[in-house]
Structure 1
């Protein structure tokens, strides 16, 4: 069985409003289940790929600060 997680996640959230996306993200984080991590990774990939270099630097700064 070959499941394309990336495509499944993208199909699942495609067309969602900001409110729905927020709910999906918050639920995945609060739930804390390991199986949700790939989906969050796919969402981060979309954010990263659609961000300017300035926003990427900002995200990296936020990530670095959060890991200290």
Structure 2
């Protein structure tokens, strides 16, 4: 039996509203557990795929600035 991690993550948040999604993201960030990273990656993948060029540019600029502060 193969496990499709991406689909399992999407199934887990499928019917979440905005507040539930925010709580999920904040919990993952606050816990700092490595096992949460795939879920955040799947959410970022969805965000990236739905973003237009301006939103992608903003995300990249924000990431670049954040990395420069590290």
Cα RMSD for the two superposed structures: 0.8
- Alignment partner, residue 24 of structure 2: 24
User: What TM-score do you get using the length of structure 1 for normalisation?
Assistant: 0.96
Counterpart check, 1:39 vs 2:39:
yes
Deviation string 1:15-35 (CA, Å, 9 cap, x unpaired) is 210000000000000000000
- Per mean C-alpha deviation after superposition, the further-off stretch among 27-36 and 1-10 is 1-10
Q: Tell me the distance in 2 between the aligned counterparts of 1:5 and 1:21.
A: 18
Q: Tell me the distance in 2 between the aligned counterparts of 1:60 and 1:16.
A: 26
List runs of 5+ in structure 1 lacking aligned partners. Answer: none
User: What TM-score do you get using the length of structure 2 for normalisation?
Assistant: 0.93
4+ residue runs over 3 A deviation: none
Q: Tell me the distance in 2 between the aligned counterparts of 1:22 and 1:50.
A: 18
